[in-house]
């Protein structure tokens, strides 16, 4: 499913124009991005949690040459689905 599909579904379900539907989708997604960029979690009841986790620096190895390399610290995005979403997908 793409953003356009979500916007079209909004148009059909709540009767807004396609432009308004796309604006709503863009607004929600940009709000989520800004919240995650600040390092705060996004919790959507009945769907799941998006969280930003910090990973420290570590040593890695180039598989081709075997040379050790330093992997810098970074932030990663994780998603944990809610129990309701898991049940819905598995039913």
The CATH number that applies at residue 90 is: 4.10.520.10
Do 26 and 44 lie in one domain? The reply is: no
With cut-offs at 50, 70 and 90, classify the pLDDT of residue 55: very high
Structural domain containing residue 10: 1-38
d(CA 8, CA 12): 6
Give how many domains the chain has, as a whole number.
2
Phi-psi region of 28 (alpha: psi -120 to 50; beta: other; left: phi over 0): alpha
pLDDT value for 77: 96
Give 80's Cβ-side CA count (13 Å radius). Answer: 8
Q: What is the pLDDT of residues 33-54, one digit of tens each?
A: 999 999 999 999 999 999 999 9
Same domain, 89 and 51: yes
Q: Same structural domain for residues 11 and 22?
A: yes
Pair (12, 53) in one structural domain: no
For residue 29, name the pLDDT band (cuts at 50, 70, 90): very high
* pLDDT value, residue 50: 97
Q: What is the mean pLDDT of residues 59-85?
A: 95
């Amino acid at each position: 499913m793409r953003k356009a599909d979500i916007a079209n579904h909004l148009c059909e379900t709540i009767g807004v124009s396609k432009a308004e539907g796309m604006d709503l989708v863009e607004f929600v997604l940009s709000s989520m991005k800004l919240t995650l960029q600040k390092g705060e979690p996004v919790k959507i009841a009945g769907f799941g949690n998006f969280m930003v986790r910090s990973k420290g620096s570590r040593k890695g190895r180039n598989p081709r040459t075997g040379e050790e390399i330093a992997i810098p610290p970074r932030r990663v995005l994780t998603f944990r689905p809610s129990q309701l979403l898991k049940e819905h997908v598995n039913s």
